[in-house]
Amino acid sequence: MTNPARDTINQTVTENDVVLFMKGTASMPQCGFSSRVAGVLNYMQVAYKDVDVLADEAVRQGIKDFSDWPTIPQLYVKGEFVGGCDIITEMMLSGELDTLLSKEGVSFDKDAADKIREANG
């Protein structure tokens, strides 16, 4: 049986290097957790596709089933689920996010990443 939402999600994470499934959009987040992750990516100048789960109930539930992760936001890099807000925040502060992005060939502003760590250090 086909699942249109799952097919859409799979296509989105396959065709885009970095995808953030979030409540709202990159420019207008609709929850604090989505805002935090989008803010980190925006500040680091990571090019990413934002998917507003509030716009489509099937995608909102579908992404939770797709990743087997219960919460939004969800970040994908090169088709792999990375994590939600807490995980991304921890990875940002530890430098793991820089390492992952570098390893996957995703460009970002290293100085901005360092500034985030300095401000939260």
CB 59 within 8 A of CB 8: yes
pLDDT one-digit tens code per residue, 65-108: 999 999 999 999 999 999 999 999 999 999 999 999 999 999 99
> Can you point out the beta strands (E) in 6-121?
18-22, 49-52, 74-77, 80-83
Q: Stretch 18-33: mean pLDDT, rounded?
A: 97
Residue 35: per-residue pLDDT = 97
Question: Could you give the percent of the chain with pLDDT greater than 70?
Answer: 99
- How many CA atoms does the CB half-sphere of 3 hold within 13 Å? 12
Give phi and psi for 26, each to the nearest 5: -55, -35
CB 22 within 8 A of CB 38: yes
Q: Stretch 32-53: mean pLDDT, rounded?
A: 97
| Calculated CA dihedral for residues 56, 52, 106, 71, nearest 10 degrees | -80
Q: Stretch 40-67: mean pLDDT, rounded?
A: 96
Q: Stretch 28-50: mean pLDDT, rounded?
A: 97
What residues form DSSP beta bridges with 49?
19
Q: Does position 1 have pLDDT exceeding 70, yes or no?
A: no
Residue 121: per-residue pLDDT = 77
Q: List the chain domain ranges.
A: 4-120
- Tell me whether residue 120 is exposed, middle or buried, using C-beta atoms within 10 angstroms of its C-beta: 0 to 12, 13 to 18, 19 or more: exposed
The correct CATH number of 4-120 out of 3.30.200.20, 3.40.50.170, 3.40.30.10, 3.40.640.10 is 3.40.30.10
Residue 22: per-residue pLDDT = 98
Q: Stretch 12-16: mean pLDDT, rounded?
A: 98
